[in-house]
Amino acid sequence: MSRKYLLEISVEGAEKAIAAERGGSNRLELCADLAVGGLTPSRELLRGVRETVHIPVYSMIRPRAGNFVYSDSEFAEMERSIAVATECGMDGVVLGVLQKGFKTDVGRTRRLVDLARPLPVTFHRAFDECTDLRKALEEVIQTGAARILTSGGAKTALEGAAKLAELIAMARDRILIVPGAGITHSNIAKVAEKTGAIEFHSGLGTVLPYSSRDYKACEVEVRKLNEQLSGLL
């Protein structure tokens, strides 16, 4: 039986969002400042992209660069940002909250997941900073999040393929594991084969500078990613 693969591309502007959609992206992760890993986009950017593309758009919810241990005021900002994302017609949100000691903050994450409902939540690569990924997986499942974006704790998804396969086997049908980090058209098929994943994330950062305005190149790379996945069907 054929498998259906899903490709998510992270973007930080309407032009790149359009290019990714034209290339065949199935979903977008919308961020500000991808150079620091992505921050919460402005209300204007959320609205602009929502009016421009037709595929699902997930908004990053991250108040600042750096670690994922947030103050009370930063957490309150995340709560407000989820409300704005909902208001602007987003299809999901992407976030991650840790405690000191590189552990998942189950209570705060669950609060944000509940606040976002009915929008699904992706727990982002803050997951990869946890000291025990097996334990972190079970904790994120407890929060009600729908997905985990992860490289398996490695620098790239390909390097972390064995751990990703282990996490996917552990997760079963309880949560989706989405490989991300360093995924390009030259390795996505290998990541798919080694991990058994069905959803994949690429920021294109290893093939295109985040500051690039070569939107045609973005479209072409996304198309190549899709072609590689289609070849596996």
| pLDDT score for 1 | 34
Mean pLDDT confidence for 96-122? 97
Q: Report in angstroms the alpha-carbon separations of 208 from 60, 65, 89.
A: 20, 21, 28
| pLDDT score for 144 | 98
Task: State the pLDDT confidence band at 113, using cuts at 50, 70 and 90.
Answer: very high
| pLDDT score for 209 | 75
Task: State the pLDDT confidence band at 3, using cuts at 50, 70 and 90.
Answer: low
| Cβ neighbours, 10 Å, residue 103 | 16
- Checking if the pLDDT of 211 tops 90, the result is no
| pLDDT score for 213 | 80
Q: Of 126, 111, 121, 174, nearest to 145 (Cα)?
A: 121
Task: State the pLDDT confidence band at 41, using cuts at 50, 70 and 90.
Answer: very high
User: Is the Cα dihedral 175, 164, 140, 136 positive or negative?
Assistant: positive
| pLDDT score for 152 | 98
CB 143 within 8 A of CB 117: no
Ordered structural domains, the chain, with CATH: 6-227 (3.20.20.380)
* Per-residue pLDDT tens digits for 48-100: 999 999 999 999 999 999 999 999 999 999 999 999 999 999 999 999 999 99
Mean of the per-residue pLDDT values of the chain: 96
Mean pLDDT confidence for 154-177? 97
| Cβ neighbours, 10 Å, residue 172 | 7
| pLDDT score for 208 | 80
| pLDDT score for 159 | 98
* Per-residue pLDDT tens digits for 171-186: 999 999 999 999 999 9
Three-state secondary-structure class, residue 163: helix
- Checking if the pLDDT of 163 tops 60, the result is yes
Task: State the pLDDT confidence band at 212, using cuts at 50, 70 and 90.
Answer: confident
Percent of the chain predicted with pLDDT > 90: 94
